[in-house]
Amino acid sequence: MAMRTALTIAGSDSGGGAGIQADLKTFSALGVYGMSVITAVTAQNTCGVTAVQNITPEITTAQIEAVFSDIRVDAVKIGMVSTVETIQAIAASLARFAPRFVVLDPVMVAKSGHALIQPEAQAALGRFLFPLATVITPNIPEAQALVGGEIKGVADMERAACALHAYGPRFVLVKGGHLAGDAVDVLFDGISYHHFTSPRLLTRHTHGTGCTLSAAIAAYLARGFGVAQAVAEAKDYLNGALSHAFPLGKGVGPVHHFHDLYRKAGLDYDGEESSTS
């Protein structure tokens, strides 16, 4: 059986917990060969983002072309894309190479509150990239920003998913992690809604959850799963990574992408915080 592959198009997190780094860890943990196109370099740690340098659209395009011209791409995951020009460059390249699966995580704000997309680029996401996506995976704040209005419960999530589906993606997954109670995610295919419910895990170490979930969906699509099953498997994987999340640094620690492999290798950490002091 040929190795399955996935390409992440996203920003770099120097702290290693989100972005390109989280995506590649997720791909590897799920048995998929990962490739990357870096759209931005962030100065970032567990406490927040202190600086961002966007990569030029020309270099972004060149990275995409370098991968597609040489290696079969089974799925694409798109994360942080900050500018209209970058969004247009990615859309043009994906229209040219036509990958079978595209998972788009509309990253807008870091957990620390730092904006990761320019205001004018938000509309460009819907215009240029949503129509190319197999699945888009907004969380509650992102869905609110994209469609307007407040989302207070599952019924509001369904309405937001329907509104977002009109932009052209085949599926919309509205993630409910920001609401109280059990985590309920809503998947909409244009006809019916599918709810995924999981117990809320009590940990503050949640850095990289959105990146990890969307990358896991891409990995499972690359491996041949249907969309609903890919979402279900990705949520199971993320729940395991969250349940083994650990303190690192002085802020919000990362999920543990390789928790299962560490367990099998007999590596068991005691949760002691790792930081400079």
Distance CA 160, CA 154 (A): 10
Tell me whether residue 26 is one of the annotated catalytic residues: no
Active-site choice (42, 83, 134, 209)? 209
Phi, psi angles (nearest 5°) of residue 3: -60, 130
Query: For this structure, is 168 an active site residue?
Result: no
Number of separate helices (H) and strands (E) present in the chain: 9, 9
What is each CA distance from 7 to 77, 106, 144, 265, in whole angstroms? 6, 16, 28, 28
Amino acid at 213: L
CB-based contact 18:211 (threshold 8 Å): yes
Q: Is 77 a catalytic residue?
A: no
Of the residues 126, 208, 251, 253, only one is catalytic, namely 208
Is the CB of residue 253 less than 8 Å from the CB of residue 247? yes
Instruction: Give dist(CA 199, CA 68) in Å, integer.
Output: 39
Quote the crossing angle between the two packed helices 140-147 and 154-165, to the nearest 10°. 50
Q: Indicate the burial class of 118 (C-beta count within 10 angstroms; 0-12, 13-18, 19 or more).
A: middle
Distance between CA atoms of residues 50 and 48, nearest Å? 6
Does the active-site annotation cover 240?
no
Q: Which of 42, 77, 211, 235 is catalytic?
A: 211
Catalytic residue among 175, 212, 235, 251: 175
**Catalytic residue from among 26, 61, 86, 206:** 206
Active site annotation includes 113: no
Any catalytic annotation for residue 250?
no
DSSP letter, residue 112 = T
Structure tokens at 189: 């295919």
Q: Which of 210, 235, 251, 253 is catalytic?
A: 210
Strand pairing report for 171-174 and 183-188:
antiparallel
> Taken in order 127, 91, 234, 11, is the CA torsion positive or negative?
negative
Residues forming the active site: 175, 206, 208-211
